[in-house]
Amino acid sequence: MIELFNVSVKIDNRPVLNDISLQITKGEFVYLIGKTGAGKTTLMRLIYMDLFPAKGNVIVDRYSSSTIRRKEIPFLRRRVGVVFQDFKLLPDRTVFDNVAFALQVIGAPKRTIRARALSALSRVGLNHKRYQMPHHLSGGEQQRAAIARALVNEPFILLADEPTGNLDPQVSTEILALLESINRSGTAVLMATHNYGLIRQFPHRTLLVENGKITAGEAP
């Protein structure tokens, strides 16, 4: 369901990924490791088509990077959830509104929005804080809210770009346990991380991004 064929990417004329091929199957959990700037984020941007390869092809669900039209990209993104290290929550809205926002902006009916936002918040264990503003939450809770927002559209894959980068070890473990539970319910997870301890604690297929190539890796 996600396939990369001989993909090369240049950013500002600098080669970042060079002739890589990769497959992530339905419901898989995959770690991406590698130094900062190695191309982990680039790989994720290719998947939600925020970036297009200079060469090769990226297939995500039924969309192909070589044929997708600009106006189809939003529909692809509704099938892909993304969370970041810095959460990217809207500071002037409550947790509930942040999650509901992802449904409002795709024009979902009001009743659906409420039901699905509450369900997503329950999944991440944040229902009781739904009317709080993001700055009243801890880092771990903010990341949970971001995960709820990413899940609310029921994506087939969740891309997590260093989701524990700003969190302490205990909270990081909780977030990973949450991602695992999401994965067990059928959503694939691709997670970029530097936290090798977590990989050892929750082992899954691990890919190393290095020198523009992707190889099977393992936590050092």
Partner 1 sequence: MKLLFLLKEGFAGFRRARLAVTITLATITLALALLGLFGLVAQNLSDSFQRVFYQIRLEVFVDPSLGESDFQTLKSEIEGIEAVQSAEYISPRAALQEFEKDFGKDLVAVLESNPLPPSFRVMLKTGRSRPEAIQAVVRRIEALKAVDEVVYPENLIRLLDKYFLLGIVIAAGLGAAIFIISTLLIFNTIRLAIHSRQRVIEIMRLVGATDAFIKAPFIFEGVLQGMIGGLLAAGLLWLAGDLVRYLFLPGLAVPWLYLAGLVITGILLGFIGSYLSVGKYLNT
Catalog residues that contact partner 1 under the rule CB under 8 A. Answer: 48, 70-71, 74-78, 82, 88, 90, 92, 101-102, 104-107, 109-110, 149, 153
Output the smallest distance, CB 188 to partner 1, in A: 17
Give me 122's structure tokens.
């329950």
Closest to partner 1 by CB, 101 vs 202, is 101
The span from the CA of 46 to the CA of 58, in Å, is 7
Least distance from C-beta 11 to partner 1, angstroms? 13
Give the nearer residue to partner 1 in terms of CB position, either 110 or 205.
110
**One-letter amino acid identity for 158?**
L
Q: Least Å distance between CB 21 and partner 1?
A: 26
Place of tokens 């700037």: 37
Of 30, 62, 78, 4, the residue nearest 183 (C-alpha): 30
Tokens encoding 136: 């009243």
Q: Which CB atom, from 129 or from 149, has the smaller least distance to partner 1?
A: 149
Cβ atoms of 71 and 80 within 8 Å: the answer is: no
In the complex, the smallest distance separating the C-beta of residue 177 from partner 1, rounded to whole angstroms, is 24
User: Which residue number, 106 or 171, has a Cβ lying nearer to partner 1?
Assistant: 106
Smallest distance from partner 1 to CB 96, Å? 15
In angstroms and rounded to an integer, the radius of gyration of the C-alpha atoms of the chain is 17
105 versus 216: smaller Cβ distance to partner 1: 105
Distance between CA atoms of 141 and 129, rounded to whole angstroms?
A: 9
The alpha carbon dihedral of 144, 149, 153, 155 has a sign of negative
